[in-house]
Amino acid sequence: MRTLALTPGGIGDQILLFPTFDDLKRYYPEAEIDVIVEPRSKGAYRVSGSVNQVIAFDYKDRNGLADFSNLLGIIREREYDVAIALGRRWSIGILLWMSGIPVRMGYAANAQNWLFTNTVPMNTQQYAASMYHDLLKGLGINSVCPELTLRVPKADLEWAQIEQQRLGATESGYIIIHGSCELVAHSQGIDQIYPVKKWQQIIEEIQQKQPNLPIVLVQAPEDDPEWSAAMIQSIPDLKLTTPGDIGKLAAIIASANLMLCTDSTPMHIAVAVGTYTIALFGPTEANKLLPASNHCIGLQSSTGWIADIEPEEVLKKIWGT
């Protein structure tokens, strides 16, 4: 069964789709799954164990008729059996309808329903990975959404071992912190930045109670570097790691004792690799971006502003008090 998934969104959105693709492969082991993603998100599939091929297409660009015609040609050439549309744009629905793919699945959207052969309700009041997994109901798959997992390449695991030696964190373990936001989110004015002074208060108490436990700041490939620079300037004892791709990022997070972060791609990676995670949320809802798990805690701002979360709240979760 040749399957095509049209999945706009950032790297975090792609990672949240992994359980859907993994479960599809569980029911159809011989399935070949291709995805069409925004160019900025291609790197996510370095750590996917279920996707065969990644095709780049900028959904947000001002695509003309020629752009859609080229994409339609690529889709028709590959003769897919099943298509999954994550978004609800008219243009995507029409593209799939014109493609001739026999089974076209998407979320029910009233006027657009005729463009699909199988539609499912869009339940936004649940963990996002489960919402995406609901699309498989279009194939009669009614299983519970599996846990989020990654497949990290061996070379990236080896890089992480060398990096831990450089950081002086091979014996003691380490706490990893991520508080920056992707440049795209920053340009859109999305509130994901927790103030440096409040991070400083949290880090100082950790260092007082656990002086031999290294604290590592991670700068992901898509991050705004200004935040990392401000943190290093304010807290000189911090160690900095800059993984060059999503595989190395996953590998360095996987070996950490604890992840402290804001709503971000590294948060989803930490969940997927099983690192104990405490995540801070402003306007976005924690229960929609974190699974119900003993390994992750979402601290939700009562005001909708992430800066209003007090360091004492974070420290209580760290120490379990």
Q: Which residues pair with residue 82 across a beta bridge?
A: 3, 103
CA 248 to chain centre: 15
For the chain, the distance separating the N- and C-terminal CA atoms, rounded to the nearest angstrom, is 51
Q: What is the pLDDT of residues 233-275, one digit of tens each?
A: 998 889 999 999 999 999 999 999 999 999 999 999 999 999 9
Domain 2-139, CATH 3.40.190.10 — does that match?
Answer: no
154-319 classified as CATH 3.40.309.10: no
User: What is the pLDDT, as a whole number, of residue 92?
Assistant: 83
CB burial class (10 A; 0-12, 13-18, 19+) of residue 88? Answer: middle
100 dihedral zone (left: phi>0; alpha: psi -120 to 50; beta): left
The domains spanning 2-139 and 154-319 adopt the same CATH topology: yes
CB environment 107-116: b (16+ within 10 A), e (fewer): bebeebeebb
Residue 246 has what pLDDT?
A: 96
pLDDT of 190: 55
pLDDT digits (tens, 9 = 90+) for 84-121: 998 777 788 888 889 999 999 999 876 678 889 999 99
Measured CA distances, 241 to 199, 234, 261 (Å) = 17, 17, 15
Query: Residue 306 corresponds to which tokens in the numbers above?
Result: 């992430």
Which residues of the chain carry a pLDDT beneath 70? 110-111, 181-191
pLDDT the model gives residue 111: 67
Cβ pair 3, 34 in contact under 8 A: yes
For the chain, state the CA radius of gyration.
21
pLDDT at 139: 94
Q: Give the domain ranges of the chain.
A: 2-139, 154-319
What confidence score (pLDDT) does residue 156 get?
97
